[in-house]
Structure 1
Amino acid sequence: MPVKRLSVVVTRRLPEVVETRMKELFDVTLRDPDTPMSREELAAAMRQADVLVPTITDTIDAGLLGQAGEKLKLIANYGAGFDHVDVATARQRGILVSNTPGVTTEDTADMVMALILAVTRRIPEGLKVMQSGNWPGWSPMANLGGRLGGRRLGILGMGRIGQAVARRARAFGLQVHYHNRKRVRPETEAELEATWWESLDQMLARMDIVSVNCPHTPSTFHLLNARRLKLMKPSAVVVNTSRGEVIDQNALTRALRAGELAGAGLDVYEQGSELNPRLHELANVVLLPHMGSATIEGRIEMGEKVIINIKTFADGHRPPDQVVPGMF
């Protein structure tokens, strides 16, 4: 007698190779067209599926989990971040949650450096001049940016991505500093030539560039608030590729408009795709549409991790990337 295949609902389109493998292994419902599911669609999916495969665009809160059917036993998140899923409520309802950690480390660290370079060397401004067709020619004082070598980089969150950023930063001649919940091992500090700051306030006041690489948790919400942004030097730059909620976006906008900060490079935003419109007006701000992990290699590896988590669960074992309340 054939073994019954798990019913799996995927909320967004994934790379073709990932979808093909899912169809081979599971009774899968794929998303077409590639648009975020409405709350009603998510509720319906959670009533019909054994496994839901959501992404960051799906907010799965206690109210939605309350509408889940008895079948739903696993939320296999496509992505490392899971603050859009109420993990504690899911656990109370007997629903496991998994994620895909480690896959996007190198890609996101690359994007951190890209944003640092873009802001400090004024690359978007140069592109705009060239694309306008009105470049008047080279001038010794035109488009002057700043040299990276010798500057102090403060990394907020020294996990996998923070350490990958530190390795890249050293190659550019940046001095690496960091603030973390816990100090990293001495051998890691030595390898990265990184200086730990127990006080975030003291670190911020002395940095030329600050990179946000910590997860969004209740303790990191608005960690960079108006008070802390005012501690930073007017010549400093802020880069965020982690979670938008870590920075008070309105306070950051005010600081940039007032000349209290030299610039910002943002790939994530506090209200998802909704930005403070005044950010668009600032020449010293580089805005990207959440591209930090956007490589085909990374997307496929994320899909492979999702499949492994589902397959392991189907075989009666704990998913290797299971998330439990209080992990961060």
Structure 2
Amino acid sequence: MWRAASKQVIRTVGSSLSDLSPLAKQLHVLYPVSRLSSLRKASPGSKKIVGVFYKANEYAAKNPNFLGCAERSLGIREWLESQGHQYIVTDDKEGPNSELEKHIPDLHVLITTPFHPAYVTAERIKKAKNLQLLLTAGIGSDHIDLKAAADAGLTVAEVTGSNVVSVAEDELMRILILIRNFVPGYQQVINGEWNVAAIAYRAYDLEGKTVGTVGAGRIGKLLLQRLKPFNCNLLYHDRLKIDPALEKEIGAKFEEDLDVMLPKCDIIVINTPLTEKTRGLFDKERISKLKKGVLIVNNARGAIMDTQAVVDACSSGHIAGYSGDVWNPQPAPKDHPWRYMPNHAMTPHISGTTIDGQLRYAAGVKDMLDKYFKGEDFPQQNYIVKEGKLASQYL
């Protein structure tokens, strides 16, 4: 459905989402409508909405559908201002003198993204006396102090499902890049070299390898489906089992005990949210129990890994390759050790912010804002904090 919605957006959207009413109507048909019952209720009148997005600079003009940047601001400025709301957009989010900090005391809605996260601390929540709603344009709201948000009666929501295809495709790409030892080969070409042996001695086929995903939610399931044609041995660990019919179709095996599954894997993919239970999940001890030469892909959250333990294991060869687009913190400082460790294929946080993903999460944010103004509920799966309660995946 999201894919169909994306195609509809691509046909109708230019530099603004003001023409997205067909998609908005489609979304309204999909989900039941009821009265909003959050603790800090929406009140009538003009709202001050602040969005924090990365700057695109010269790239903003290169694609009219590049909606996720500060310059395009999700394409909702005209729509918001036509209804009398104030819309402030910035990329300046850090420190007491930042542009974001100036607006904290009187904003009503804060829109953030995982790609250029504005860290919403308990201190900021305390200062935000008018704040009612925190929206994540994308998936993953761990840059927000969710307990503080719940205690303050705020609603936290994200555009669930908006970039799952984008991330799952990116994970598959990273698996292939690592197992075929692609990056050193590309670097040879850039450097004017030609040494096939230096690449081939650690390049393998994906077929027949055991791939395990830690987490088999929306992204994990899509990845498993995409791996099926490669004839891998597929394992997954999660709180809940996949639907039996889908599990049989994919040919994936459920592993209840994470520490039993991990040593079996040639390739491990992280697909679990960052919670207090998963923070530092892959520490030195757990990594030491993995198969020597394991490949790891992590597009979930950087803090799930012990940073130095990953560096040490890549340096020793225990981890033969590590790839992902998530760091701790973000943006990653220039001296972050993952930039310089051997056998990595890291990128900035890009997997969920493809143009197609941006079209979907921009439309989803607009739809939720429209419901917020009308005092209506969001789609249930979009809530991360509602009525003082956290979604189950964050417990």
Tell me if both proteins adopt one fold, taking TM over 0.5 as the criterion. yes
Query: How far apart are 1:270 and its partner, in Å?
Result: 2.6
Query: How far apart are 1:254 and its partner, in Å?
Result: 0.8
The residue that corresponds to 2:359 in the other structure is 300
Structure 2: how far apart are the matches of 1:297 and 1:19? 20
The residue that corresponds to 1:85 in the other structure is 144
Following superposition of structure 1 onto structure 2, how do residues 155-304 of structure 1 map, counting pairs within 5 Å?
155-272=213-330, 273-274=332-333, 277-304=336-363
Instruction: Give 1:195's aligned amino acid.
Output: K
Structure 2: how far apart are the matches of 1:159 and 1:244? 18
Query: How far apart are 1:42 and its partner, in Å?
Result: 3.0
1:62 matched to 2:122: yes
Query: How far apart are 1:108 and its partner, in Å?
Result: 0.1
Instruction: Give 1:233's aligned amino acid.
Output: K
1:322 matched to 2:390: no
Structure 2: how far apart are the matches of 1:38 and 1:171? 48
| Structure 1 unaligned regions, length at least 5 | none
Give the direction of change, closer, same or farther, for the CA distance of 1:278–1:54 in structure 2 (3 Å limit).
Answer: closer
Query: How far apart are 1:260 and its partner, in Å?
Result: 1.4
Structure 2: how far apart are the matches of 1:168 and 1:284? 25
Query: How far apart are 1:52 and its partner, in Å?
Result: 1.5
Instruction: Give 1:88's aligned amino acid.
Output: K
Output the aligned Cα RMSD: 2.1
Give every structure 1 segment of 4 or more consecutive aligned residues whose post-TM-superposition deviation is greater than 6 Å: none
1:36 matched to 2:100: no
Is the 2:314–2:342 contact (alpha carbons within 8 Å) kept by the matching residues of 1?
Answer: no
Instruction: Give 1:10's aligned amino acid.
Output: G
1:125 matched to 2:189: no
Structure 2: how far apart are the matches of 1:295 and 1:243? 18
Give the direction of change, closer, same or farther, for the CA distance of 1:258–1:194 in structure 2 (3 Å limit).
Answer: same
| Structure 2 unaligned regions, length at least 5 | 1-43, 55-67
Structure 1: how far apart are the matches of 2:76 and 2:249? 36
Query: How far apart are 1:77 and its partner, in Å?
Result: 2.1
* Larger CA deviation: 75-84 vs 239-248: 75-84
Structure 2: how far apart are the matches of 1:94 and 1:284? 45
1:105 matched to 2:146: no
Is the 1:253–1:276 contact (alpha carbons within 8 Å) kept by the matching residues of 2?
Answer: no
Structure 1: how far apart are the matches of 2:48 and 2:104? 11
What is the CA deviation profile of residues 121-180 of structure 1, one whole-angstrom value per residue up to 9, with x for unaligned ones? 1111111111112336xx4x3411110001000000000000011011112222210111
Instruction: Give 2:165's aligned amino acid.
Output: E
* Larger RCO (CA within 8 A; separation ≥ 6): 2
* Larger CA deviation: 233-242 vs 83-92: 83-92
* Larger CA deviation: 283-292 vs 150-159: 283-292
Is the 1:22–1:307 contact (alpha carbons within 8 Å) kept by the matching residues of 2?
Answer: no
SS state of the match for residue 317, structure 2?
Answer: coil
Query: How far apart are 1:60 and its partner, in Å?
Result: 0.8
Instruction: Give 2:169's aligned amino acid.
Output: D
1:4 matched to 2:34: no
* Larger CA deviation: 181-190 vs 209-218: 181-190
Query: How many residue pairs were aligned?
Result: 321
SS state of the match for residue 155, structure 1?
Answer: strand
SS state of the match for residue 262, structure 1?
Answer: strand
Following superposition of structure 1 onto structure 2, how do residues 145-164 of structure 1 map, counting pairs within 5 Å?
145-164=203-222
Is the 2:46–2:86 contact (alpha carbons within 8 Å) kept by the matching residues of 1?
Answer: no
What is the CA deviation profile of residues 206-228 of structure 1, one whole-angstrom value per residue up to 9, with x for unaligned ones? 10000000000011111111111
What is the CA deviation profile of residues 259-304 of structure 1, one whole-angstrom value per residue up to 9, with x for unaligned ones? 2121111211233214774433344111110111121111121111
1:143 matched to 2:199: yes
SS state of the match for residue 348, structure 2?
Answer: coil
Is the 1:244–1:270 contact (alpha carbons within 8 Å) kept by the matching residues of 2?
Answer: yes
Following superposition of structure 1 onto structure 2, how do residues 68-79 of structure 1 map, counting pairs within 5 Å?
68-69=128-129, 71-79=130-138
SS state of the match for residue 234, structure 2?
Answer: strand
* Larger CA deviation: 91-100 vs 153-162: 91-100
Identity of aligned residues (%): 25
